Amino acid sequence: MKTILAFFGLIVLTVNSYGQNLSSPNSELELNFELNSDGTPVYALQYKGEEVIAESKLGLELVDDDKSLMDGFEVKDSSTSTFDETWKPVWGEQSEIRSHYNELAVTLEQPEQDRYIIIRFRLFDEGLGFRYEFPQQDNLVYFVIKEEHTEFAMTGDHTAFWIPGDYDSQEYDYTTSKLSEISGLFDDALTGNASQEQFAKTGVQTSLMMKSDNGLYINLHEAALKDYSLMNLNLDESSLTFKSWLTPDAIGNKGYLQAPAVSPWRTVMVSDDATNILASNMNLNLNEPNKLEDTSWIKPIKYMGVWWEMITGKSTWNYTDDLPSVKLGETDYSKTTPNGKHAANTEHVKKYIDFASKHGFDALLVEGWNEGWEDWFGKSKDYVFDFVTPYPDFDVEEIHDYAASKNIEMMMHHETSGAIRNYERHMDTAYQFMNKYGYTSVKSGYVGDIIPRGERHYGQWAINHFLYAVQKAADYKIMVNAHEAVRPTGLRRTYPNLIGNESARGTEFQAFGGSKPNHVTILPFTRLIGGPMDYTPGIFEMDISKLNPDNNSHVNSTIANQLALYVTMYSPLQMAADLPEHYEQFMDAFQFIKDVAIDWDESHYIEAEPGEYITVARKAKGSSSWFIGNVNGTTPRKTKLKLDFLEKGKTYEATIYADAKDAHYKTNPQAYKISTKKITNKSTLRLNSAAGGGFAISIVEK
């Protein structure tokens, strides 16, 4: 410990400073922590001797507390430890996960206030996690956060893959630019999703992926976001320093804490190889172990849905166009005129069940089955849905019996339209209804402004609700896939019935004007760091006007790229999102969707470059079969794919679904070529990926 002399006005004070270093298990990362001269905690991070985070401040500003938890700290205690364990996820990219880190916990006291906090650092081989802890004590009981002041000082003008900071939505296309260009490009980056409120034109969301000019891949995110507000990052352009910016509540406060409490983990991943970012389990390892005793009812799901026809505008969720507005319980739907486009009707649903059953799917989602869609976005949305009243043409009992006879589980849909209080009022009866009719999973949704007004999708209040819905679902043995909820931060480890989230720009945007062709080469580096996405791949008809003449959207992807997504976008929940009649036109390509596994023993990240390409190989759980996916950005690309991860001495047959020579995401998206080949672990495959294309390979032992 060194002693530094500091001047405060005329008085000379002796301030205890303190410095400590911590290394990662492989010694490649080094963390420095110290208190600066005014007792402000600061940290820095090096990777292989190169600075990744320059000296950056830590602290929290409190409401009605002049001192705040910012400075005037002295080190009361510090301890280091090592942790190394291997655990088994209920489902995942691999059947065993190692969690290995060195830890430094520093207890910091503000002597005048007679209170203390702990800052805990965990250094893994792939990166750093740290959090604030507020132990139970007399002089820090309840407190309100005005702002968290965690800094991440960048050491250069890195290239960033970013979406605008927002309190309510992550459904943006990514912009790739230098950090210094963010504010200039900000308004353009809002395109297509300008309805939500942004906090600053230099604000971005996490998980934020960056690449330095020296070829370092750096990722900033958070883990275990619970009972706290989401962290956006605001860039100080002059110093290239990111500063945490929490999501406010309706009156502008950013968090209400009662000790004992902890903040989420703030994470920095770094590597000189992009595949290490994809392979990292650090985010999961910073979450608590599984809290559910019985997990036998939690299963990965491959599903279809009465869905894409509504998203494209071919059909509707609502039953009638008659009504200017609907009040639940006061509308007799059987007296209204059906609009003839209501997809969730018994006969139509049965056709989907037949198709899904014939091709070996587990489940079928049906949206628009329940009353209220005529005004789901409107003024009365706080009482428009009760989640238990089907439209007159949806016979829930008949559909359930029919699905059961065909070995298909029905997937429930709860669109809350952001009316969280209404959902909580109805939650028990809604889950009981699901138990009664054999629904084992629910897709929930939070479209539009949160009710009560002024709350945000990413504020502490809504975040508490999202977890409450998952915990309560577990009581009823129900799996949850929440759309428009907060982006995941690894909570699936603690609550493995959280099997999916959207919380990013999913396939639906391909029918709302299209997404950038390289979008899917970025998502695994950003949104997927925190957990799986219900991306809803598998679109084979790219010209949306064929479904709805009024919709000119084009799906910016080739069919081979759509197939690859089942491997590159890891999720225990995979949808075949297109209509049965479109699959019927390409049954040979559809075979890959039928075959591909949804739970894995091993995953190998073969090559990757954010924005350009990703190639992943995964071994199906409990089987010797492998599946490989490659997604490609806009530059056509050749891959020399070594298969050395296959088991030595075995012979396999590979079925390769590749872009045809003249394939292109825009001009020729349906051109693919299927071939088969005998292979061993000594084989190398040479493959071409078109612009917006890719390839998918299934490998079976012979």
Please list the active-site residues: 508
Nearest distance in Å: CB 203, ligand NOJ: 23
Site for ligand NOJ in 235-254 (CB under 6 A): none
- CA dist 450 → 197, 204, 252, 311, 663 (Å): 13, 21, 15, 22, 43
* Binding partner selected for residue 147 from ligand NOJ, Ca ion, none, CB under the kind-specific 5 to 8 Å limit: none
Nearest distance in Å: CB 465, Ca ion: 17
Nearest distance in Å: CB 444, Ca ion: 11
Please report the sign of the dihedral spanned by the C-alpha atoms of residue 251, residue 56, residue 175, residue 551.
Answer: negative
* Binding partner selected for residue 148 from ligand NOJ, Ca ion, none, CB under the kind-specific 5 to 8 Å limit: none
Nearer to ligand NOJ, 120 or 302 (CB): 302
- Number of residues in contact with ligand NOJ, rule: CB under 6 A? 8
- Strand, coil or helix: 3: strand
Nearer to ligand NOJ, 151 or 534 (CB): 534
Nearer to ligand NOJ, 533 or 598 (CB): 533
Angle at 584 between CA 663 and CA 339, to 5 degrees: 110
> Contact, 495 vs 479, CB < 8 A?
no
How far is residue 420's CA from residue 564's CA, in Å, rounded to a whole number? 36
* Binding partner selected for residue 89 from Ca ion, ligand NOJ, none, CB under the kind-specific 5 to 8 Å limit: none
Contact with ligand NOJ (CB under 6 A) among 483, 487, 516, 582: 483
Q: Which two tokens stand for residue 469?
A: 């819905």
The per-residue b/e assignment along 37-72, b for 16 or more CB within 10 angstroms, e otherwise, is eebbbbbbbbbeeebbbbebbbbbebeeeeebbbbb
Contact with ligand NOJ (CB under 6 A) among 125, 173, 222, 367: 367
Nearer to Ca ion, 483 or 492 (CB): 483
**Residue 508 sits in the site that holds ligand NOJ (CB under 6 A):** yes
Nearest distance in Å: CB 307, ligand NOJ: 6
The per-residue b/e assignment along 590-627, b for 16 or more CB within 10 angstroms, e otherwise, is bbbbebbbbbbbebbbbbbebbbbbbbbbbbbeeebbb
Nearest distance in Å: CB 447, ligand NOJ: 5
> Contact, 505 vs 515, CB < 8 A?
yes
Nearer to ligand NOJ, 56 or 444 (CB): 444
Nearest distance in Å: CB 305, ligand NOJ: 9
* Binding partner selected for residue 599 from Ca ion, ligand NOJ, none, CB under the kind-specific 5 to 8 Å limit: none
How far is residue 42's CA from residue 39's CA, in Å, rounded to a whole number? 9
Q: Which two tokens stand for residue 88?
A: 């088994």
Nearest distance in Å: CB 458, ligand NOJ: 16
Nearer to Ca ion, 235 or 504 (CB): 504
How far is residue 496's CA from residue 681's CA, in Å, rounded to a whole number? 34
**Residue 414 sits in the site that holds ligand NOJ (CB under 6 A):** no
Nearer to Ca ion, 483 or 618 (CB): 483
Is the bond preceding residue 324 a cis peptide, omega within 30 degrees? Answer: no
DSSP 538-582: -----BGGGT-TT---B--S-HHHHHHHHHHS--SEEEE-S-HHH
Q: Which two tokens stand for residue 348?
A: 């139509």
The per-residue b/e assignment along 369-380, b for 16 or more CB within 10 angstroms, e otherwise, is bbbbbbbbeeee
Binding map of ligand NOJ across residues 165-204, x = CB under 6 A, - = no contact: ----------------------------------------
279 CB-near residues (< 8 Å, 6+ apart): 603, 605
> Contact, 503 vs 461, CB < 8 A?
no
Identify which of 603, 615, 607 has the alpha carbon closest to the alpha carbon of residue 279.
Answer: 603
> Contact, 16 vs 1, CB < 8 A?
yes
Nearest distance in Å: CB 372, ligand NOJ: 11
Nearest distance in Å: CB 363, ligand NOJ: 15
**Residue 538 sits in the site that holds ligand NOJ (CB under 6 A):** no
**Residue 374 sits in the site that holds ligand NOJ (CB under 6 A):** no
* Binding partner selected for residue 415 from ligand NOJ, Ca ion, none, CB under the kind-specific 5 to 8 Å limit: ligand NOJ
Nearest distance in Å: CB 453, ligand NOJ: 20
* Binding partner selected for residue 125 from Ca ion, ligand NOJ, none, CB under the kind-specific 5 to 8 Å limit: none
Nearer to ligand NOJ, 280 or 312 (CB): 312
Contact with ligand NOJ (CB under 6 A) among 185, 447, 671, 685: 447
Ranked by CB distance to ligand NOJ, the top (closest) residue is 415
* HEC letters along 611-675: CCEEEEEEEECCCCCEEEEEEECCCCEEEEEECCCCCCCCCEEEEEEEECCCCECCCECCCEEEE
Site for ligand NOJ in 601-640 (CB under 6 A): none
Nearer to ligand NOJ, 233 or 511 (CB): 511
* Binding partner selected for residue 367 from Ca ion, ligand NOJ, none, CB under the kind-specific 5 to 8 Å limit: ligand NOJ
Site for ligand NOJ in 305-324 (CB under 6 A): 307
Nearer to Ca ion, 274 or 498 (CB): 498
**Residue 415 sits in the site that holds ligand NOJ (CB under 6 A):** yes
Nearer to ligand NOJ, 147 or 502 (CB): 502
Residues lying near Ca ion in the complex (CB under 5 A) are found at 483
Contact with ligand NOJ (CB under 6 A) among 93, 502, 541, 578: 502
**Residue 371 sits in the site that holds ligand NOJ (CB under 6 A):** no
Nearest distance in Å: CB 565, Ca ion: 17
- Strand, coil or helix: 82: strand
Q: Which two tokens stand for residue 71?
A: 């400075």
DSSP 481-544: EEESSPPP-SGGGT-TTEEEE--S--GGGGGTT---TTHHHHGGGTGGGSS-B---------BG
Run of H or E including 276: helix 274-279
Sheet strand arrangement including 231-236: 18-23, 29-35, 41-47, 50-57, 151-154, 241-246, 231-236, 203-204
Run of H or E including 87: strand 74-87
Site for ligand NOJ in 268-307 (CB under 6 A): 307
Please report the sign of the dihedral spanned by the C-alpha atoms of residue 499, residue 83, residue 55, residue 252.
Answer: positive
Q: Any idea which residue has 């950005």 for tokens?
A: 633
**Residue 445 sits in the site that holds ligand NOJ (CB under 6 A):** yes
- Which residues lie near ligand NOJ (CB under 6 A)? 307, 367, 415, 445, 447, 483, 502, 508
